[in-house]
């Protein structure tokens, strides 16, 4: 093969490769556009020049343009109704632990005599979750009174 024939063969090969490269680039561009490009919801079956029909034309023509706008007073909020006794019903089967918080200063502010324990007042029930154990803790608070002030009818 002469050098001229080899050169022509190589030029044809280069031309074929350039055409294939261009075709592959166009395919990649088309597929990229399909995958990541803008999509349109308009149908291709409508004739050219006809706009896509609106689903909301009828209500707009039927609505009164002079109708008043709703105000905040017209809008009512929803509030969930609490079930009475629902929490107590859920806690009845749990083991209960009693905690008593004691008053540190057991001295009357008025006469400075010692306060005597009269009873205890229920404050709240807390649910404590300990892994593999759930219990309800009833919180109480001490109720104290001064016997000296009580005899003298002082608060």
- Per residue in 87-106, pLDDT tens? 888 888 888 888 888 888 88
- List 129's β-bridge partners, or say none: 134
Q: What is the pLDDT of residue 35?
A: 87
For 49, 61, 74, 144, the CA distances from 69, given in Å and listed in that order, are: 37, 17, 10, 60
Q: What is the pLDDT of residue 132?
A: 81
- Per residue in 24-74, pLDDT tens? 999 999 999 888 887 765 555 555 555 666 666 555 555 667 777 766 665
- Per residue in 122-155, pLDDT tens? 888 888 887 887 888 999 998 888 888 888 888 7
- The bridge status of strand 96-101 relative to strand 133-145 is parallel
Q: What strand order describes the sheet that includes 116-130? A: 96-101, 133-145, 116-130
Total Cβ atoms within 10 A of residue 46: 11
């Amino acid at each position: 093969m002469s050098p001229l024939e080899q050169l022509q063969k190589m030029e044809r090969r280069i031309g074929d490769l350039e055409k294939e490269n261009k075709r592959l680039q166009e395919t990649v561009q088309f597929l990229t556009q399909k995958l990541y490009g803008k999509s349109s919801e308009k149908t291709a079956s409508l004739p050219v020049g006809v706009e896509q029909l609106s689903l909301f034309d009828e209500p707009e023509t039927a609505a009164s343009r002079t109708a008043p706008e709703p105000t905040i007073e017209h809008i009512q909020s929803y509030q969930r109704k609490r079930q009475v006794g629902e929490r107590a019903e859920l806690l009845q089967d749990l083991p209960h632990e009693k905690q008593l918080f004691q008053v540190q200063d057991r001295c009357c502010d008025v006469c400075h005599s010692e306060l005597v324990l009269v009873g205890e007042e229920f404050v709240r029930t807390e649910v404590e979750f300990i892994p593999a154990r759930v219990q309800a803790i009833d919180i109480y608070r001490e109720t104290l009174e001064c016997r000296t002030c009580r005899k003298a009818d002082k608060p």
